[in-house]
């Protein structure tokens, strides 16, 4: 991995909300990265270190997450898509590629379907359409962990080491987990992201259907599915049949199975195994 520290946090005010982001400079792109439902801009640090400076990488904290503002309202895919387009406008970016992970991939599909003239290519990392209702329901306990106060950062990190889906454990994953936490004067820590805001997104998710948007995608698309589930062989966000159905509904979409990680760790590793697939795809479609 190209070992670069994350750049300084930058901010853009869009739709009355201050959004935090990272900007890794690069010659081509830009690639605008949208994280998973409880994720943040730092989840793309290892990917950015591998792709920059060949590509400019912009990674964003959605509203309600990490260092961005946390308004009481304005959630759901329509609001996030509106923020993404306004963010690009604020930076003077007319066209861009979207790189979405999980919920971020589904948000990216929604955005690309409504603004086809702005999105040059689309990379979907184990997301892009609504999972089953039971999968959505299983996310609520994960969101509630954001309210928990831990005695110290070390205590928090030690607990995360024992989580089954945090395998393999790497410094990239640990750095991402550390960045999502706020440290108080007594050394206790709590997640920066708002559980209430993210729960609002999840509540609305049950009433949205992004599957209908897939056939509207006009740009070249890459769908990446990890070989490992969240529980080893099981616990995939999409079954093989569901993943292939998603891919078939997009007119120009490649499907790749990625070895060496699960839903989270195939992105958050020191050398993310998604990188070769992304590099080949971008070389082909952005030539």
How far is residue 128 CA from its own chain's centroid? Answer: 11
Domain 10-285 homologous superfamily, CATH:
Alpha/Beta hydrolase fold, catalytic domain (3.40.50.1820)
pLDDT at 4: 54
Output the pLDDT for position 5.
63
Closest CA to 114 of 157, 83, 68, 149: 83
Could you read off the pLDDT of 35-77 as tens digits, one per residue? 999 999 999 999 999 999 999 999 999 999 999 999 999 999 9
Interacting residues of 170 by C-beta distance below 8 A, sequence separation 6+: 265, 268, 269, 270
Question: For the chain, what is the radius of gyration of the CA atoms?
Answer: 17
The DSSP result for 52-98, as a single string, is TTTEEEEEE--TTSTTS---SS--SHHHHHHHHHHHHHHTT-S-EEE
Computed over every residue of the chain, the mean pLDDT equals: 95
pLDDT of residue 231: 76
Structure tokens at 261: 């990680």
Q: Is the pLDDT of residue 85 over 70?
A: yes
Q: Where are the domains of the chain?
A: 10-285
Where do we find the tokens 């830009």? Answer: 30
Q: How much is the pLDDT for 2?
A: 44
What are the backbone angles phi and psi of residue 59, rounded to the nearest 5°? Answer: -120, 140
pLDDT digits (tens, 9 = 90+) for 2-37: 445 679 999 999 999 999 999 999 999 999 999 999
pLDDT of res. 232:
75
Q: What tokens appear for 4 in the block?
A: 């670069």
The answer to whether residues 34 and 84 touch, using CB atoms and an 8 Å cutoff, is: yes
Q: What is the structure's pLDDT at 234?
A: 81
pTM to 2 decimal places: 0.96
DSSP per-residue string spanning 122-191: EEEES-SS---HHHHHTHHHHHHGGG--BS-HHHHHHHHHT-TTS-S--HHHHHHHHHTEEEPTTS-EEE
């Amino acid at each position: 991995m190209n070992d670069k520290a994350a750049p300084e946090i930058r901010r853009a005010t869009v739709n009355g909300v201050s959004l935090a982001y990272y900007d890794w400079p690069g010659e081509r792109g830009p690639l605008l990265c949208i994280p998973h439902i409880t994720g943040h801009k730092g989840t793309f640090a290892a990917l950015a270190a591998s792709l920059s400076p060949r590509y400019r990488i912009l990674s964003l904290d959605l509203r309600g997450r990490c260092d961005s503002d946390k308004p009481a309202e304005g959630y759901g895919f329509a609001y996030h898509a509106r923020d993404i387009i306004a963010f690009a406008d604020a930076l003077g970016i007319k066209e861009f590629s979207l790189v979405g992970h999980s919920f971020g991939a589904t948000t990216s599909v929604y955005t690309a379907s409504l603004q086809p003239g702005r999105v040059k290519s689309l990379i979907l990392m184990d997301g892009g359409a609504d999972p089953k209702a039971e999968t959505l329901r299983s996310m609520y306990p994960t969101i509630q962990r954001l309210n928990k106060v831990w005695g110290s950062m070390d205590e928090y990190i030690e607990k995360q080491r024992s989580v089954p889906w945090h395998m393999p454990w790497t410094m990239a994953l640990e750095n991402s987990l550390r960045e999502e936490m706020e440290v108080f004067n007594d050394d206790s820590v709590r997640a920066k992201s708002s559980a209430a805001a993210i729960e609002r997104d999840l509540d609305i998710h049950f009433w949205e259907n992004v599957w209908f948007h897939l056939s509207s995608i006009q740009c070249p698309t890459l769908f990446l599915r990890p070989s490992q589930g969240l529980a080893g062989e099981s616990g995939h966000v999409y079954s093989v049949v569901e993943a292939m159905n998603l891919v078939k509904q997009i007119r120009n979409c490649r499907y790749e199975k990625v070895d060496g990680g699960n839903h989270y760790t195939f992105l958050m590793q020191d050398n993310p195994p998604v990188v070769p697939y992304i590099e080949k795809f971008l070389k082909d479609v952005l030539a």
